[in-house]
Amino acid sequence: MALVQHAGAELVVVGRQHRLRGSGVTDPGKLADERVLECIPDTGLRVQVDAAFDRARARRRGVCALRGAGDLASLALEGIGVAIVPRPVADEIVPNDHADCVLRLDDPQALQPLALAHRDPAPASPAAQAFLRLALARLPGDGSPGPDTA
């Protein structure tokens, strides 16, 4: 069995008219005075956001809590507030011509772990092989396998 591991960083989505648009990177401390859109409590994303602000020793002003990260990113893009979301969500919601509304969160510990376990050297069925090729091409990172496990 092989295990492929990647870690995708969380990103910040800001509005089209936001002061941080185009800055490329920000940290939780710079978001302390912002209207923060966040996931409902007891979700993985909310735990990640809480931890990022705790590490930065920054307080945030949460203005609403929604169930879906896609909704958070959409509202942030419209200028309702800022949202911290996983990279795949930002990639799906934010159009290419507004890519500068997506900022890297300067917090090395704010990672979204992803793992894919599969038969080594490759799955037997053609459908599983196709899925593995697609997953490896789309996962963040360099696409190289992680440590093999037996």
Prediction pTM value: 0.73
Mind listing the pLDDT tens digit for each residue in 78-120? 999 999 998 889 999 999 999 999 999 988 777 666 677 777 7
Which pLDDT band, with edges at 50, 70 and 90, does 30 fall under?
very high
Instruction: Give the pLDDT score at 140.
Output: 56
Three state DSSP letters for the chain: CEEEEEEEEEEEECCCCCCCCCCCEECHHHHCCCEEEEECCCCHHHHHHHHHHHHCCCCCEEEEEECCHHHHHHHHHCCCCEEEEEHHHHHHHCCHHHHHHEEEECCCCCEEEEEEEECCCCCCCHHHHHHHHHHHHHCCCCCCCCCCCC
pLDDT tens profile 50-68: 999 999 999 999 999 999 9
